[in-house]
Amino acid sequence: MNINIYTGNHPGTLMVDDAINFLRKMFSKEGCDCVVSNELKTDSINLIIDEFSSLERSQKIVKFKEKHSESLIILVGTEFIERRFFVRRFNFFEGGILDAAVVSALKIFFCLNSKYFTKNVNISDLIIGILYSPLLVFDFIASLIKKIRNRSKAFWDKPKKNAYWVQRYLGYMKMLNYVDGVVVVHNNMIDGFLGLGNKLPFIGTVYPEIDIENIKENLFKNKELFIEVTGTVTPYRLKKITEIDNDISELSLENKFKFCKAFPASNQKENSIRGAYSLHPPQTKNWKHSSPVRIYRALCYDYNLPILTRRFNDHPIEDICFIYDNSNILFELNKYFYDRRSLLAFIEPRIDAYAQKSINNNNKIINKLRNML
């Protein structure tokens, strides 16, 4: 079976490198001929990781499918479809009815001002947009008054914040008309997809697979004893970092355990000294789902052990992680850093158990794809 992981719909691969890597390993391990390309192929199953906000890049996929209708395209969903106040958007975890009004207005605006999105507009969106429109007028006037008094940010901040995710969502909805099936990277994405009422076959949830021998060889290699945080340091994540730093001070561990350090994706230099542990708090207090791809990257590429601030119980990869639920865990982390035998005795059975679950799960997906040929 030939697999083509198509990347031409992305402006770059930085944000999808992890998904590309675990998809490629998953298929190659089972004897599939798997390549990564910015060209669609007629002799392969084309896997496309969702990002369809660009008209030009997405039209290439549409034209390919219209010309080669028998060629298989599988959409890989990476975002959560969330519904708040009768309005759907990607990752719509927080916000009130005013945010829903803004999202509704943006959906109508993009649909009416772009030929690409025209077919995405429906009667329910129009009705909700009309019902919510007085809220937007009120907010505009209130924001204008506050802006004049230098007490608030501009009215346009809310539309700017939501515009990208609305375009991503509309592009996703458009692309569902040109694919032959959907896989996702998180079980909690299933309900959002099924809630659309689309009749496309749902193929399964891909689990990142972990090479335990690689981890045993490289874990803690060239690392120092501190907890690092990668990605965007949101206010909630900063709060958790501060709490841990305070615990280190209160327990007088500064000479053994360095304070937490942030490593944003745009500033991860090759020669930087990295932490033996990595912290993975949710982006906000009300965040609803775990982040299995972040955990996968920590283990398999950064070679540090992931720490969660809460367990969501929605993905088996969480079982590998430490849970920071009290300050005494710092003593355990200190012990495992210096005692490798104890470390492996703790972590190896957990990785083995997860590895078996992920392989069994992913083999079912591969078999389903073979049956589609």
pLDDT in tens, 308-327: 999 999 999 999 999 999 99
Which tokens hold the place of 62?
């549409």
Question: Strands 223-230 and 261-263, how do they pair?
Answer: parallel
CA dihedral (303, 308, 311, 314) positive or negative: negative
Type of residue numbered 254: E
| Cα 168–Cα 264–Cα 325 angle in degrees, nearest 5 | 95
Tens-digit pLDDT profile for residues 266-285: 555 566 889 999 999 998 88
Q: How far apart are CA 232 and CA 15, in angstroms?
A: 12
User: What pLDDT, on the 0 to 100 scale, is given for residue 153?
Assistant: 55
Please identify which residue in the block is written with the tokens 């007490």. Answer: 151
Q: How far apart are CA 121 and CA 132, in angstroms?
A: 16
- Range with the poorest average pLDDT among 90-99, 147-156, 192-201, 237-246: 147-156
User: What pLDDT, on the 0 to 100 scale, is given for residue 152?
Assistant: 53
Share of the chain above pLDDT 90, in %: 69
Tens-digit pLDDT profile for residues 225-234: 999 999 888 9
Contacts for 68 with CB less than 8 Å, ≥ 6 apart: 40, 42
pTM for this predicted structure: 0.88
Q: How far apart are CA 357 and CA 184, in angstroms?
A: 16
All structural domains of the chain, each given as residue ranges with its CATH number in brackets, are 212-355 (3.40.50)
